[in-house]
Chains A and B, each alone.
Chain A
Amino acid sequence: MSNNWPRPEPSLVTVWVLARRELHDALRSRWFALDTLAFVLLGLAVAFVSGSGTGEGLAGFGRTTAGLVNLVTLIVPLMALTAGAGSIAAERERGMLPYLLSQPVSRWEVLAGKWLGLSLALSTAILLGFGVCAMAVAWRGGTSQGASQLLLLAGLSVALAIGLLGVGMVISVVSRRTSVATGLAVFTWLLFAFATDLGLMASTLTWRLTIQSIFAACLVNPLQAFKLWALDAAGIPLDVLGPVGQYAVDHHAHSLAWLAAGSLAAWAIGPGVIAAIAFSRRAAA
């Protein structure tokens, strides 16, 4: 460890103190304000534009839900990745990291505290966004949109955000500057949101992938895992998603939620551990 002071044992109390500080900082930061605003505005737009009032009440499943799923898979990972990427790198750039680590706290506690604080901040932004969206839908009234669907979707979006926060923190730990970290985060987001799907599309067309392997590939991608989970949980018939969706219905009707949750959990834990290891090996400044 980097300092020689006698320290108390690593404790959850310390983590909680650090998390509160992180949350406090995050709620006052510009990224949080902008993210929340963007999420709320886009959610409103989806609520109002989906079905544009015409299909209202006639869709068997909520087009608003489908639109929100689309929005969430795009925006939430970007929020989570950039938030995570800013965490350690920003402290380092401002010269705060050596100061922080000179306190009687372990690196593990610092990282865990930041992760927890950012998770709470992201949850706040997402839940607020969904809350406003729910109000908008209720105010418009008379849609086929279930309240429970929105609650579910909000919960799953929080899970998606937490699932990708660890990846952002890996980026943050290995980056020396905030700008580099943010750039890497955006690049990673592009990979997750577009490149993997386009790659899957190309390989499906080129190599005639089997339905099972496409399903597996979708589950590995946290965004697709979230999408499958969210559509399924919202009661949208997965045969909308063609043969692979039908396969999911036929063979994984009961396990789909667990598989998707497992995927997101793996993405939350794996990169989190990597971030912790990388952080413990790097110099503070």
Chain B
Amino acid sequence: MILFGLVVLAALEASPSVQAGWSDLAALVAQAQPGDVVRVPAGDYRGVVTIDKPLTLEGVGRPVIHGFGKGDLLLITAPDVTVRGFDLEGTGDDLDQENCAIRVLAPRAVIEDNRLEDVLFGIDLRGAPDSVVRGNSIGGKPLDIARRGDGLRLWKSDRARVEGNTIHDGRDAVLWYSEGVEVRGNLVKDCRYGFHLMYSHGVRIERNELRGNSVGIYLMYSDTVDLKDNVIAACRGASGFGIGLKEVSDYRIERNLIRDNCVGIYMDSAPFRKGQAEIRANALVCNDSAMHVLPNVKGNTIVDNAFIDNLSGIVPLGRGDLYANAFDRDGAGNFWSDYAGYDEDGDGIGEWVHEPMPLFGRLVEQEPKLAILRFSPAEQVVEFVARALPAMRPDPLFIDENPRTRPGDEVALAWRAGREAGAGESEEGGRGALWAAAALLVAAALASSGGIQ
């Protein structure tokens, strides 16, 4: 009698279809032999399901694994497991337990073509070297940013490949203690950190789009990092960095489009050790500051970049200048949209050096509160005074001996890629509205003039 009561209670707790599905998936896994391909039919299943032998789990018609806001969903403890074609929904929201949709604790997992929604942590590779995370969509919980989990996390997972995933509304995508990882063609939007590297060496990050995060890509304590052809946009807020570099060495940052961030590139102790440190052929466009650079930043080669319409260019934080970094190589420097010189012999290199000495910028750096006077006439007065009165003129921050008078070809490539990536950002259809606005304004003008008396 008591036993019967318990069964009834259990049946009441879970909806009937779910209860049926739940037993199915665990049973399917239990029945399968190592190395089997298990085709899981469409239906509702309940987590958590543990996969403890090498299997390929293939969803047919997108089966759904539910967590109903509790615990984890899939736990992979055996090597060589593939999980493909599932929808996973509703993990718990316990940060201490790190409730996770797919947690991998063994090497060589392939997590492919899954759709994760309303998850605290999305895909968590813990000690899963040589794994592949490809073509998944990961959506976080609609929580305050501090209470969210990481959409993607790699921990001691060397040589993992992260390709073509979409991550949105999570906390960070974290790559820690993982060497030789390749990150390609992902979209990360509306998270805190796009990609956050710590102690991860030999990582390549290419052709990703990072939009609306607090920080696009933060590289910390890592060596030998390649950042190429990424689009990093709209990183705003107090630490709104497109790319952050902290104690990184041996890096190449190439052909990225970095636009509309509070700070395009933030640099602290980079490079940490002497060696290759190249920032070349990037387009830094319409950022509040193109770069913030701490005084300990020395030995970078910053060439072929296009600095376009940033409110401030390169800003050294703390007093000092940037003379310990090179701004030109082989007779060619960067393109600066605020370059005041000209190109007489038509070789694409300006005849005057570019030596920015913004007085207002210096004052803002000294007292950030003064930024409130941006876009006001006083700002121009200060800059005018700096030009007109040599006594007021600050020392130049750096000198580009060979400024380009047009952006280089590689920058144009970054540019086009970025425009294509940003095409979905609702800029079309504005033209008709503008004509309408113009007509409305002129009509209003006529009305207020009393119809031209």
Number of inter-chain CB pairs below 8 Å = 197
Given known A23-B453, A55-B286, contact A145–B364 (CB-CB < 8 A): no
**Per-residue CB proximity of B368-390 to A under 8 Å, as 1/0?**
11111111111001100000000
User: Any chain B CB within 8 A of the CB of A91?
Assistant: no
Q: Are B369 and A243 in contact (CB under 8 A)?
A: yes
| B367 / chain A contacts, CB cutoff of 8 Å | 204-205
Q: Are A245 and B377 in contact (CB under 8 A)?
A: no
| Segment at the interface with B among A94-102, A117-125, A180-188, A252-260 | A117-125
Cβ of B302 to closest chain A Cβ, rounded Å: 19
User: Any chain B CB within 8 A of the CB of A79?
Assistant: no
Q: Are B378 and A63 in contact (CB under 8 A)?
A: no
Interface of A is mostly: helix
Cβ of B55 to closest chain A Cβ, rounded Å: 46
Q: How far is the CA of A218 from the CA of B376 in the complex (A)?
A: 11
Nearest B residue (CB) for A20: B450
| A224 / chain B contacts, CB cutoff of 8 Å | 372-373, 376
| A131 / chain B contacts, CB cutoff of 8 Å | 438-442, 444-445
Q: Are A58 and B238 in contact (CB under 8 A)?
A: no
User: Any chain B CB within 8 A of the CB of A237?
Assistant: yes
User: Any chain A CB within 8 A of the CB of B363?
Assistant: yes
| B382 / chain A contacts, CB cutoff of 8 Å | 198, 201
Q: Are A57 and B419 in contact (CB under 8 A)?
A: yes
Cβ of B166 to closest chain A Cβ, rounded Å: 21
Given known A54-B337, A58-B418, A124-B448, contact A144–B427 (CB-CB < 8 A): yes
**B431: which of A138, A197, A215 is its contact (CB, 8 Å)?**
A138
Cβ of B343 to closest chain A Cβ, rounded Å: 16
User: Any chain A CB within 8 A of the CB of B233?
Assistant: yes
**Per-residue CB proximity of A63-96 to B under 8 Å, as 1/0?**
1001001100110000000000000000000000
**B371: which of A51, A231, A242 is its contact (CB, 8 Å)?**
A242
User: Any chain A CB within 8 A of the CB of B259?
Assistant: yes
| A205 / chain B contacts, CB cutoff of 8 Å | 363, 366-367, 370
Q: How far is the CA of A223 from the CA of B382 in the complex (A)?
A: 18
Q: How far is the CA of A60 from the CA of B260 in the complex (A)?
A: 6
Nearest A residue (CB) for B419: A57
Cβ of A76 to closest chain B Cβ, rounded Å: 12
**B309: which of A55, A121, A242 is its contact (CB, 8 Å)?**
A55
User: Any chain A CB within 8 A of the CB of B422?
Assistant: yes
List residues of A whose CB falls within 8 A of some B CB. Answer: 20, 23-24, 27, 51-52, 54-55, 57-61, 63, 66, 69-70, 73-74, 120-121, 123-128, 130-132, 134-135, 137-138, 141-148, 150-151, 154, 193-194, 197-198, 200-201, 204-205, 209, 211, 214-215, 218, 223-224, 227, 231, 237, 239-246
List residues of B whose CB falls within 8 A of some A CB. Answer: 233-234, 236-238, 240, 257, 259-260, 262, 285-286, 288, 308-309, 311, 337, 363-364, 366-378, 381-382, 418-419, 422, 427, 430-431, 433-442, 444-446, 448-450, 452-453
Closest CB pairs A-B (n = 8): A242-B371, A197-B378, A138-B434, A131-B441, A60-B260, A134-B438, A127-B445, A147-B433
